[in-house]
Structure 1
Amino acid sequence: MDTYIVLKRFSSLEEAQECHKLLSEKGVTTRLADNVPPVDITFSGNTVGYQYEVQIDPANFANAESILEEQEMQSLPLVEDDHYLYQFSDEELLEILQKPDEWNKLDYALAREILLKRGKEMDQEKLDLLKQKRLMQLRESEPQQKYWVIFGYISAFIGGLLGIAIGYMLFSSKKSLPNGERIFSYSDHDRKHGTNIFYIGLFVFTISVLIKMLWGL
């Protein structure tokens, strides 16, 4: 069974290769993958471009994160004073610290550095608390998939393969959290409907195929 999870996504192959090389040199086994957006993201309306992934074993997640953070910290002295983050307000910089998964690690480290220079110290305990609150937010299920549930039932009852696909998407789709944890994307309510849609669609499709086969005899 494949247990690798996504550590980081990149829009360019060069960036993904650099990350892969860095981690490999530090003894972390990784692999590169080029994937289109997962079906659950597309169906929920949040489409993104073609991405390259650096994937690792979940057991190495904390070590890999530490290596990447150390790499970005070493880059801080090279950042010019005209970096765009210097134009951010304290509130905007704090938002970066509150949502590290939406920013790269250099921006995260620089935001903390700028706040420190402005007399807004953020110790590790406060940062850890912010990360925990963010994880709680991300653990929340996607909004109720009312329209996909209705469309899924309709597709399933008319015997279309689309109904089977929608059902499977609803009950099986997962998302990765910043700490490497994998959880189901949709609520138990939607996942239950997804299971029903999947089996109804499978049953109707099978029956329709059998009828066509018998009719052709």
Structure 2
Amino acid sequence: MKPEFITYKKFNDIALANQLSELLEKHNVAFFVEEEALSFDPTFAYNDTRQYAVKISSNDFETVNELLLHEANEDITEADKDYYLFSFTDSELLDVITKADEWNAYDVQLARKLLAARGKTISDEELNAIEEKRIEELKEPEASQSTWIIIGYIFALGGGILGCFIGWHLWSYKKTLPNGERLFNYSEKDRNQGKIIFYLSLVCFALWLVYKFTPLFTGDN
């Protein structure tokens, strides 16, 4: 079975996407770069910046993680002392390592090096434990989406197609974990509500179309 290619990382700058692409090509990791159009965002936060998604097989996530860490390990030997991580407290540096998925590989490796220089070395075993704990945290579904569920029902009953998109997002949206695993982003309860909103929106929209256009065929004004 052909592996599914999913987004490993997104960039607003094509040069950064190409930089990662060159590393993947150098190590014979299959990939492709896709320019992404704006997708539906239930928060309605508009961002007109084009994004470039570097996509790889989920089976290669761990390999690419290691490649980036190895490359970062070589780069931090020449870290500029004015780099912002040098002003971080021990707690802040530990937070960078704990939430490595929110930072780039360079920052994670530099944070680890700075902690070691301050006498707080993190062993490979401790790092693995931190990564496993973080994965378990990320597996947890988002908090209850009750507000968006209510909004979804309002749009659905109003015949608005927007309710369809809200329902679809709650029902089917998946997140990608740092290890390449993909999971539904919302709880089963919220996903079921999203499914109901999706189909209710379709029904209400269809009824609205019938109401709107029936007079054209019956001759009623």
TM-score of the aligned structures, taking structure 1 as reference length: 0.90
Query: Counterparts in 2 of 1:201-212, with a 5 A limit?
Result: 201-212=201-212
CA distance in structure 2 between the partners assigned to 1:20 and 1:35 by the alignment = 16
Aligned sequence identity (%): 35
Shift of 1:44: 4.0
CA distances 1:90-124 after superposition (whole Å, capped 9, x unpaired): 11111111110111101111111111111111001
Moved >6 Å (runs of 4+): 45-48
Amino acid at match of 2:171: F
The aligned counterpart of 2:21 is 20
CA distance in structure 2 between the partners assigned to 1:201 and 1:136 by the alignment = 35
* Counterpart contact for 2:59–2:180, Cα < 8 Å: no
* Counterpart contact for 2:159–2:208, Cα < 8 Å: yes
Question: Considering only aligned residues, what root-mean-square deviation do their CA atoms show, in Å?
Answer: 2.1
Matched residue of 1:95: which SS?
A: helix
Matched residue of 1:43: which SS?
A: coil
CA distance in structure 1 between the partners assigned to 2:46 and 2:115 by the alignment = 33
CA distance in structure 2 between the partners assigned to 1:93 and 1:213 by the alignment = 62
Matched residue of 1:9: which SS?
A: strand
Query: Counterparts in 2 of 1:156-175, with a 5 A limit?
Result: 156-175=156-175
Tell me whether 73-82 or 169-178 shows the greater mean CA deviation: 73-82
* Counterpart contact for 1:6–1:180, Cα < 8 Å: no
CA distances 1:120-148 after superposition (whole Å, capped 9, x unpaired): 11001111111112112222222221121
Q: 1:154 to 1:80 in 2, by over 3 A?
A: closer
The aligned counterpart of 2:110 is 110
Matched residue of 2:192: which SS?
A: helix
Shift of 1:185: 1.2
Shift of 1:158: 2.2
CA distance in structure 2 between the partners assigned to 1:114 and 1:72 by the alignment = 14
Matched residue of 2:55: which SS?
A: strand
Q: 1:82 to 1:165 in 2, by over 3 A?
A: closer
The aligned counterpart of 1:43 is 42
Q: How many positions carry a matched residue from both structures?
A: 215
Shift of 1:183: 1.1
CA distance in structure 1 between the partners assigned to 2:110 and 2:173 by the alignment = 34
Q: 1:63 to 1:2 in 2, by over 3 A?
A: closer
The aligned counterpart of 1:89 is 89
The aligned counterpart of 1:9 is 10
* Counterpart contact for 1:166–1:194, Cα < 8 Å: yes
CA distance in structure 2 between the partners assigned to 1:46 and 1:135 by the alignment = 27
What residue ranges of structure 2 are gaps of 5+ in the alignment?
none
CA distance in structure 1 between the partners assigned to 2:82 and 2:215 by the alignment = 75
What residue ranges of structure 1 are gaps of 5+ in the alignment?
none
Matched residue of 2:142: which SS?
A: coil
* Counterpart contact for 1:99–1:134, Cα < 8 Å: yes
CA distance in structure 2 between the partners assigned to 1:82 and 1:174 by the alignment = 38
Q: 1:159 to 1:45 in 2, by over 3 A?
A: closer
Shift of 1:10: 2.0
TM-score of the aligned structures, taking structure 2 as reference length: 0.89
CA distances 1:24-51 after superposition (whole Å, capped 9, x unpaired): 1210011112325643xx3247776543
